[in-house]
């Protein structure tokens, strides 16, 4: 039975598409009270976290850490694999290793998104593939050592200047050939890039490691016109049984977005996966 999860970050701009804000222990309690099975924490540096407090909050709230988002390193601090600065590249790898080790403690999937860097950010374009390869290989080695899933996020062309489609993501996975590297799919990005979203999901199949949901306008699911029915049917057919995490704008307010999203997500889960008890 898939888990319903919700994204959280300690601090970010209002326009950032992450729902819960504040100290992570508070977000964990809020997610549980809202009825979510799990939470996805977006973290700049896992080594700087009060892990004891977070683990206690997860245990007390009876929910799990489904996933670790790593985007704040790029968006807030300009730290990414493909910087021309070797110190920044090394710091990006150090942070990812820390996230993977926290994933090993908690069972969370670790997302590789914009921390990969964009081509436009690398002044030496010829070196970009080399830097990208080194960063990815370091993550995969640690993930394999600790038996953690790292999920490469397929991001649309307006937010990432390459690796925008599920087909390109599958080719990336084939190139690395590791069972610990999977795809992270997002309905908002797929709605822009995929000619047939359900077919793309089925093609990805067992390579899917994590899923984000938001409607076509990036509000909560059910607000606009995205076809979630065909997506959930395809996820079921693909054999996906991980977490589906709400990564949307927090409009009209975080509590309303979270409640309305959970209603839709639970309805879809029950319809396509069958009724089930809360997963922990």
Which domains does the chain possess? 3-273 (3.20.20.150)
Distance of CA 278 to the CA centre of its chain: 21
| CA-CA-CA-CA dihedral for 182, 183, 184, 186, to nearest 10 | -160
- What's the pLDDT tens digit per position in 167-183? 999 999 999 999 999 99
In this structure, the number of other CB atoms found within 10 A of the CB of residue 101 comes to 18
- Give the pLDDT of residue 1: 84
The rounded distance, in Å, linking the Cα atoms of 235 and 2 is 10
Alpha helices for 46-186 (secondary structure H): 51-61, 72-77, 86-106, 128-146, 166-176
- Give the pLDDT of residue 277: 39
- Rg of the Cα trace of the chain? 17
Q: Is the pLDDT of residue 129 over 70?
A: yes
- What's the pLDDT tens digit per position in 216-226? 999 999 999 99
Is residue 216 within 8 A of residue 225, CB to CB? The reply is yes
What are the Cα distances from residue 113, in Å, to 29, 201, 233, 257? 26, 19, 25, 24
Q: What is the mean pLDDT of residues 248-269?
A: 98
The rounded distance, in Å, linking the Cα atoms of 2 and 238 is 13
Q: What is the residue whose two structure tokens read 């997506």?
A: 231
Q: Is the pLDDT of residue 278 over 90?
A: no
DSSP state of 226: -
Q: For residue 29, count CB atoms less than 10 angstroms from its CB and return exposed for 0-12, middle for 13-18, buried for 19 or more.
A: middle
The rounded distance, in Å, linking the Cα atoms of 117 and 233 is 33
- Give the pLDDT of residue 123: 83
∠ CA 199-200-205, nearest 5°, is 95
Question: Residue 57: which pLDDT band, with cuts at 50, 70 and 90?
Answer: very high
Among residues 214, 219, 224, 218, the alpha carbon closest in space to that of 265 is found at: 214
3-state secondary structure of 157: coil
Q: Which distant-in-sequence residues (6+ apart) come within 8 Å of 251 by Cβ?
A: 219, 257
CA 190, 195, 198, 199 torsion: positive or negative? negative
Report the catalytic residues. Answer: 153, 247
- What's the pLDDT tens digit per position in 92-115? 999 999 999 999 999 999 999 999
CA 258, 262, 265, 268 torsion: positive or negative? negative
Q: What is the mean pLDDT of residues 60-64?
A: 98
- What's the pLDDT tens digit per position in 66-77? 999 999 999 999
3-state secondary structure of 116: helix
Among residues 127, 143, 140, the alpha carbon closest in space to that of 82 is found at: 127
Lookup: tokens for 94: 């150090």
Question: Residue 166: which pLDDT band, with cuts at 50, 70 and 90?
Answer: very high
Q: What is the mean pLDDT of residues 192-209?
A: 98
Among residues 226, 202, 212, 188, the alpha carbon closest in space to that of 67 is found at: 212
Q: Enumerate helices (H) and strands (E) in the chain, giving the number of each.
A: 10, 9
């Amino acid at each position: 039975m898939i888990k319903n999860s919700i994204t959280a970050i300690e601090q970010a701009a209002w326009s950032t598409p992450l729902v819960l804000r504040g100290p992570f222990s508070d977000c964990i309690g809020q997610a549980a009270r809202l009825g979510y099975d799990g939470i996805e924490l977006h973290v700049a540096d896992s080594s700087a976290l009060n892990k004891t407090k977070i683990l206690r909050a997860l245990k007390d709230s009876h929910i799990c850490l489904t996933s670790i988002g790593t985007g704040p390193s790029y968006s807030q601090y300009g730290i990414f694999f493909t910087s021309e600065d070797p110190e920044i590249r090394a710091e990006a790898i150090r942070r990812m290793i820390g996230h993977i080790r926290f994933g090993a403690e908690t069972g969370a999937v670790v997302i590789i998104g914009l921390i990969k860097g964009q081509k436009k950010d690398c002044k030496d374009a010829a070196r970009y593939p080399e830097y990208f390869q080194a960063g990815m290989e370091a993550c995969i080695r640690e993930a394999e050592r600790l038996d953690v899933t790292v999920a490469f996020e397929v991001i649309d062309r307006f937010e990432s200047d390459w690796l925008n489609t599920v087909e390109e993501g599958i080719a990336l996975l084939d190139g690395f050939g590791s069972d610990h590297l999977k795809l992270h799919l997002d309905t908002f990005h797929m709605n822009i890039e995929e000619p047939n979203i359900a077919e793309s999901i089925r093609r990805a199949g067992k390579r899917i490691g994590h899923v984000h949901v938001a409607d076509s306008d990036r509000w909560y699911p059910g607000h606009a016109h995205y076809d979630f029915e065909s997506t959930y049917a395809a996820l079921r057919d693909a054999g996906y049984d991980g977490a589906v995490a709400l990564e949307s704008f927090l409009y009209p307010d975080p509590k309303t977005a979270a409640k309305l999203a959970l209603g839709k997500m639970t309805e879809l889960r029950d319809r396509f996966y069958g009724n089930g008890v809360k997963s922990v």
